[in-house]
Amino acid sequence: MSSITTPPATVILTGDRPTGPLHLGHFVGSLRNRVAYQQQYQQFVMLADAQALTDNMEDTGKVHRNVIEVALDYLAVGIDPTKTTIFIQSQVPELTELTFYYLNLVTVARLERNPTVKEEIRLRGFERDIPAGFLTYPASQAADISAFKATLVPVGEDQIPMIEQTNEIVRRFNRLVQRDILVETKALVPEIGRLPGIDGKAKMSKSLGNTINLGDSADQIRAAVKQVYTDPLHLLVADPGHLEGNVAFLYLDAFDTDKVALEEMKAHYVRGGLGDSVVKKRLDTVLQEMLAPIRARREEFAQDKGQVLQMLKEGTINARAVAAATVDEVRRALGLSYF
Ligand code: TRP
């Protein structure tokens, strides 16, 4: 007789460091998908304010302010708190406790080898003065993921080393206590690559100042579209244009739903005779249409921040209950239960 085991249900956990408003890059890379996943799966979305402090200790006000701003972005795009548990990391102290145990399951050398951490240390210019909390944040991220027994973690490619390190910790823990208490997880990397910035740099990012934010006004969008990098060799309307690296077309690929018209426009551009201003006009129309309802919803929610905080409070209470159950198992397995 074969034993029947029910496959584990899919549990999704993702998070964002609340250090600034969310932009089109987030929308393409994660927010749209979250709206879809919440229909099918149990989903937790975490405002990683404690992780944000690992490199923002001198600007805690920024992190505090952005918790509510990012929550507004979530609600505006349609992440629905009745379907998705949205919560604030720092208000789930069980995550800190788990992190403290996990730090004994990882070596300093292994943390130093984590490619994401390595790159971030370089970008931040920490050199030898690395905050210990920053170096060890992969253990904290392992706690975030494993506390919820998340089986899927939708993240950008740059976060894959975090998932690998999480699974190393999970395996070490389970082996140590000789029970499968923690669950291994999988990174879910979106097929659609990352969105370049309006300046054509590989990444849309707040720190590069090349974003279009979800809450931007119609004027801000218009001004940004004017600056969008196209083809520097396309000097005259009659000249043939190039699509490679042409941000206007990359954005249209991502957002224009009229694919037939878009393909015609591309062919015309490549042939010559189509000016950048026409392409940008189309891009402006597409982005304005897409972002107007998001902005309107955002403004509506922003009128009642008390209600948003209440939603976050309820989400956090629910998240905390789940994390507490895991921490209870972990403590018992480690012999840390006495009363
Ligand atoms: N490190 C992620 C980022 O930079 C945020 C994050 C914190 C996260 N904890 C997580 C993402 C757990 C996925 C799962 O955006």
| Model confidence pLDDT, tens digit, residues 194-252 | 899 999 988 898 888 999 999 999 999 999 999 999 999 999 999 999 999 999 999 99
| Model confidence pLDDT, tens digit, residues 73-82 | 999 999 999 9
> Which tokens sit at 116?
């994401």
On average, the pLDDT of the chain sits at 95
Report the separation in Å between the CA atom of 204 and the middle of ligand 1, taken as the mean of its atom positions. Answer: 17
CB 240 within 8 A of CB 271: yes
Cross-strand partners of 152? 12, 186
Beta pairing class for 42-47 and 186-188: unpaired
The residue whose CA has the least distance to atom 2 of ligand 1 is 16
Ligand 1 pocket mutation, candidates 26, 162, 166, 188, criterion most atoms within 8 A of CB: 162
Burial zone of 154 (CB within 10 Å; 0-12 exposed, 13-18 middle, 19+ buried)? buried
The residue whose CA has the least distance to atom 11 of ligand 1 is 15
User: In sequence order, what are the residues at sequence separation of 6 or more whose Cβ sits closer than 8 angstroms to the Cβ of residue 11?
Assistant: 41, 42, 43, 44, 148, 149, 150, 151, 152
Ligand 1 pocket mutation, candidates 11, 12, 14, criterion most atoms within 8 A of CB: 14
The helix-helix angle for 115-124 and 160-177 (nearest 10°) equals 130
> Which tokens sit at 302?
């922003």
The residue whose CA has the least distance to atom 8 of ligand 1 is 15
Q: What's the whole-model pTM score?
A: 0.94
Report the separation in Å between the CA atom of 154 and the middle of ligand 1, taken as the mean of its atom positions. Answer: 10
Ligand 1 pocket mutation, candidates 141, 170, 186, criterion most atoms within 8 A of CB: 141
| Model confidence pLDDT, tens digit, residues 28-87 | 989 999 999 999 999 999 999 999 999 999 999 999 999 999 999 999 999 999 999 999
The residue whose CA has the least distance to atom 14 of ligand 1 is 14
Report the separation in Å between the CA atom of 225 and the middle of ligand 1, taken as the mean of its atom positions. Answer: 30
Report the separation in Å between the CA atom of 48 and the middle of ligand 1, taken as the mean of its atom positions. Answer: 7
| Model confidence pLDDT, tens digit, residues 292-323 | 999 999 999 999 999 999 999 999 999 999 99
In Å, what is the CA distance from 282 to each residue of 28, 116, 179, 226, 256?
A: 19, 37, 58, 12, 9
Q: Which residues line ligand 1 (CB under 6 A)?
A: 13-17, 48, 51, 141, 144-145, 153, 155, 159
Backbone Cα Rg of the chain: 22
Least confidently predicted of 17-21, 137-141, 187-191, 290-294? 187-191
pLDDT (0 to 100) of residue 3:
55
CB 45 within 8 A of CB 86: yes
CB 69 within 8 A of CB 17: no
User: In sequence order, what are the residues at sequence separation of 6 or more whose Cβ sits closer than 8 angstroms to the Cβ of residue 71?
Assistant: 47, 86, 308, 311, 312
Ligand 1 pocket mutation, candidates 145, 155, 185, criterion most atoms within 8 A of CB: 155
User: In sequence order, what are the residues at sequence separation of 6 or more whose Cβ sits closer than 8 angstroms to the Cβ of residue 159?
Assistant: 116, 153, 187
Q: Which of 285, 339, 243, 29 is nearest to 154 (CA)?
A: 29
| Model confidence pLDDT, tens digit, residues 21-30 | 999 999 998 9
CA-51 nearest atom, ligand 1? 7
Report the separation in Å between the CA atom of 296 and the middle of ligand 1, taken as the mean of its atom positions. Answer: 28
φ, ψ (nearest 5 deg) of residue 272: 105, 150
CA-48 nearest atom, ligand 1? 7
CB 204 within 8 A of CB 23: yes
φ, ψ (nearest 5 deg) of residue 234: -90, 80
* Ordered structural domains, the chain, with CATH: 11-195+305-334 (3.40.50.620), 218-299 (1.10.240.10)
CA-156 nearest atom, ligand 1? 15
